Structure 1
Amino acid sequence: MPKLVDHAERRRAIIRAAWRLIAARGIDGINMRDLAAEAGYTNGALSHYFSGKDEILRTAFEHVLEETNQRIEQSASGLRGLSALRKVAYEIMPLTEEARLEARIAISLWQRALTDRAMEGVNNAAVAQWRRRLGQHLSEAIEDGQLAEHDVAVRADLLMTALIGLQVTAVLDRAATSRKSQIALLDTVLAQNKIPGSGENTTRGVHT
């Protein structure tokens, strides 16, 4: 009886191989021959799962964003206001080694997004989704008396810009982006409109 092939798992294995190569070499250092060898397949075998390098890179980018979104859903489920906002921010911030690796991959793939409209669209849709969720939790924090009234759209833009900036600096300047320093930056941004005595548990540097 012929052996059943898990097509989806094969695609995931190829994407994981692509992640490893992109993290080690950057996007310019990845080619189909090396990718096939890293994934444990022949060069021609990749064509059974992807149409070519462009599709592999787009899928790799999508998987980085999907991993982040899954963590956000698990971490912020059932929360609202500043507690939920912090959980969302923590999953976007490169606070762990896994998240730093994803940031390294994402930065490399942004280079391709400059000329790949499909990849550009994937990136912009993800950022817009994160920005809307940040805005939602900022609005909840105002409703709950945790934050003073402010322009939610502007504050969500500020937070989103800071989080993306941390992804870049975490890759380029690791010494300046410890977990403690990243959380201190987030605390500073949120403190601008925080109402004293609002009751949020924000022991600096040790959030979970």
Structure 2
Amino acid sequence: MPKIGMEPLRRRALIDAAIRAIGERGSLDVTMSEIAGRAGVSAALAHHYFGAKEDLLFATMRHILAELGRDLRDAVAECAGLARVRAIIAVNFSQKQFRPEIIAAWLAFYVEAQRTPALRRLLRVYARRLHSNLVFALEPLLPRTEAERTAEGIAALIDGLYIRRALKDGPPDAASAVALVEDYVTLRLGGRHDA
């Protein structure tokens, strides 16, 4: 007889195991059995909870995005203007987000989104939210068209720094990544520091 309340714990264990497996492999070329073994459950149970491997991978990306969203809402709750922009940048390069296995997962999911419509939609939702959050923060500082363009540049730098990091050895250097993006923001704001 199944233990009541175990399903959420096992689902989370499978998602965490998927992140670790993708991070170590550097691709989505992992099996459901491999992920299940890392989570300490049978492959049959993993299939019971998620169906196909693609469903588990979709749930894994949704989990990563949900955590990023929660962290972002907490970080910007009391911020406006430049402080809000900096908070958005900082969250994207936080210790929780900018770690090797999450970086590898992002890269793998970007690649897979080219073939999987559901992942493509999920990543488009993420991109639109990042863009709108940045535009909202930048509008008090720049005209609308400049805010839009600057938001696009910040998002491109964030994505690009994740890709560049995925191609390097050694631990991620979040401080350097944040500094590069903030340098771009300073240039776009023309040295303005008003929040």
Q: TM-score range by the shorter chain?
A: 0.7 to 0.9
The one-letter code matched in structure 1 to 2:181 is L
Counterpart of 1:41, as a letter, is: V
Q: Secondary structure at the match of 1:27?
A: coil
- Contact 1:85-1:137 within 8 A present in 2 as well: yes
Unaligned runs of 5+ in 2: none
Q: Does 1:167 align with 2:162?
A: yes
| 1:39 counterpart = 2:39 | yes
Scaled by the length of structure 2, the TM-score of the pair is 0.88
1:106 corresponding residue in structure 2: 106
CA 1:192–1:8: 2 relative to 1, 3 Å: same
Residue 189 of structure 2 corresponds to residue 189 of structure 1? no
* Residue 155 (structure 1) aligned to one of 150, 154, 162: 150
1:174 to partner: Cα distance: 5.3
RCO (CA 8 Å, sep 6+): is it higher in 1 or 2? 2
- Give the drift of 1:114: 1.1
How big is each residue's C-alpha offset from its partner over 1:137-184, in whole Å with a ceiling of 9 and x where there is no partner?
001234xxxxx8862111111111111111111221357963332232
Alignment of 1:63-142 (within 5 A): 63-93=63-93, 95-96=94-95, 98-100=97-99, 101-142=101-142
Q: Secondary structure at the match of 2:50?
A: coil
- Which stretch has the larger CA shift, 173-182 or 59-68? 173-182
Give the match's secondary structure for 1:55: helix
Cα offset for 1:99?
1.9
State how many pairs are aligned: 194
Q: 1:140 to 1:68 in 2, by over 3 A?
A: same
Matched-pair contact (CA < 8 Å) for 2:22–2:105: yes
For residues 140 and 43 of structure 1, do their structure 2 counterparts lie closer, same or farther at Cα, with a shift above 3 Å needed?
Answer: same
Instruction: Give me the whole-angstrom Cα distance separating, in 1, the residues matched to 2:2 and 2:20.
Output: 31
Contact persistence 1:21–1:29 (CA under 8 A): no
Secondary structure of 1:153's partner?
helix
Counterpart in the other structure of 1:56 = 56
Instruction: Give CA-to-partner distance per residue, 1:16-71, whole Å, 9 cap, x none.
Output: 11111111113343101111211111121112211110100111111111111111
Say which one has the larger Rg. Answer: 1
Please give the per-residue CA displacement for 1:87-145, whole angstroms capped at 9, x wherever unaligned: 0111123x536522312211112221110000000001111101000000001234xxx
Evaluate the alpha carbon distance shift between residue 132 and residue 44 of structure 1 in structure 2; reply closer, same or farther with a 3 A threshold: same
Q: Residues 97, 36 of structure 1: CA spacing in aligned structure 2 closer, same or farther, 3 A cutoff?
A: same
Q: CA RMSD in A?
A: 2.4
TM-score where L is the length of structure 1? 0.83
Pair 149,61 (structure 1): closer, same or farther in 2 beyond 3 Å: closer
Counterparts of 2:2 and 2:187, CA distance in 1: 64
